[in-house]
Amino acid sequence: MSVAKATNTMLRVILLRVGQALATAALLASLCFAFVHMLPGDLALRVAAARVGDERVTPETADRIRREEGLDRPLIVQYGQWMKSLARGDLGRSLLSGKPVVQELAYHGAFTLQLGLIGWLLSYLIALPLGVFAGFRPGGIVDRATDVLAVTLASLPTFLVGIGLVTLFALTLRWLPPAGFRTSAHMVLPAVTLALSLVAFSIPIIRNAVLEVRAAFFMTYARVKGLSPPAAFRHHGIRNAAIPVVTFAALQFAFVIDGFVVIETLFNYPGLGELLVKALIARDVPVIMGAGLVIGFSFAIVSLTADLLRLWLDPRALEAVRV
């Protein structure tokens, strides 16, 4: 495939995926709107209770909030107004704090992104050497040990791993703070919890990718030419083994977006998870819809990144692309 044709194909892939990202995000936000309004109870009453407290809320307060926030309008009108504002780049204001939703999402999203990147990178600092070594010595001690480790971590719920780490390092040894966020030390336990939940699935992927490439014909040919197994893998195997690993790693980063609620709630971490839980309890519809929009768009962007990395590692795949 010529350079010009490859470039055009890449551009079409990017445009298609960005369009899919926008459509996915809008659909997810619309579903959030529908599901929140399907919940039983008075939406204005829940917002009033979140603002002034359950013991001080009155029907008059709920009626005032209903009028001020336009919650007395038909749902189709509320949805249409939100879509019109979205087209202008305006996500509205939080019903709870009164702050712009964009500002709330940006503030809490920065904490989530920071925690996610650290936990994700830490997971591959652990998984890469273990997975590669297990792939070079299948059936060995390291291979069996990592298999037990992966199965054990995959079997444990994330919150249980977090509770175990808090019990050991915060309550027993008192080395680290158990929750909240004031210093960088507060990020250690949630980051390690996230990393361990990711390691459980990345080690087998890395191990199998290395094992499959080492058994390929071109690796056998490289060894016949006189290269040692490590040298043959270093010169001819890394790029091929990286294709499934990089794709999985990019998609696994989406787990950070999907799984932040449990970890951030457990550690009282001020990220999107904490914001979303509070918004759900208070029925803060603009924040819930904005979070749905961000999550849906993030998933689609991560998917686009995975596709581009795969095409960069294996340009032959461009010939099979249909856009």
* Domains of the chain in sequence order: 3-87 (no CATH), 101-282 (1.10.3720.10)
**pLDDT tens column, 82-137:** 888 887 878 888 988 888 999 999 998 888 888 888 999 999 999 999 998 998 88
- What pLDDT is recorded for position 3? 61
Provide the phi-psi class of 174: left if phi over 0, else alpha when psi is between -120 and 50, else beta. left
The Cα angle at residue 113 between residues 110 and 114, in degrees rounded to 5: 85
- What pLDDT is recorded for position 220? 74
- What pLDDT is recorded for position 250? 80
Do the beta carbons of residue 137 and residue 143 sit within 8 Å?
Answer: yes
Q: Which amino acid is at 308?
A: L
- What pLDDT is recorded for position 4? 66
Burial of 89 (0-12, 13-18, 19+ CB in 10 A): exposed
Do the beta carbons of residue 197 and residue 115 sit within 8 Å?
Answer: no
Nearest to 179 by CA among 195, 163, 156, 194: 163
Reduced to 3 states (helix: H, G, I; strand: E, B; else coil), residue 93 is: strand
CB atoms within 10 A of CB 258: 11
CB within 8 Å of 268: residues ≥ 6 apart = 179, 180, 181, 274
Report the sign of the C-alpha dihedral through residues 238, 309, 204, 252, in that order: positive
Q: What is the C-alpha separation between 233 and 219, in angstroms, rounded? A: 7
CB burial of 40-57 (b: ≥16 within 10 Å; e: otherwise) equals: eeebbbbbbbbbeeeeeb
Question: Per-residue pLDDT for the chain (323 aa), expressed as one digit of tens each?
Answer: 566 666 777 777 778 777 877 787 778 778 878 888 887 878 888 888 888 777 788 888 888 888 888 888 888 888 888 888 887 878 888 988 888 999 999 998 888 888 888 999 999 999 999 998 998 888 889 889 999 988 898 888 888 889 999 999 999 988 999 888 888 888 899 999 999 988 988 999 999 988 888 877 777 777 777 777 777 777 777 777 887 888 888 878 776 765 577 888 888 888 888 888 888 888 888 888 888 888 777 777 777 787 777 777 776 665 555 55
What are the angstrom distances between the C-alpha of 54 and each of 58, 99, 114, 289?
A: 9, 22, 35, 24
Q: Which amino acid is at 150?
A: A
pTM of the model: 0.81
CB within 8 Å of 246: residues ≥ 6 apart = 306, 309, 310, 313
Structure tokens at 38: 């399907």
- What pLDDT is recorded for position 145? 92
Q: Which residue has the tokens 């080395």?
A: 175
Structure tokens at 60: 């008059």
Do the beta carbons of residue 285 and residue 95 sit within 8 Å?
Answer: yes
- What pLDDT is recorded for position 316? 63
What residues does 125 pair with on adjacent strands? none
Nearest to 243 by CA among 195, 206, 216: 206
Q: What is the C-alpha separation between 224 and 79, in angstroms, rounded? A: 67
User: H-helix or E-strand containing 195?
Assistant: helix 188-214
- What pLDDT is recorded for position 127? 92
What CA dihedral angle connects 10, 12, 14 and 20, to 10 degrees?
A: -150
Q: What is the C-alpha separation between 233 and 240, in angstroms, rounded? A: 9
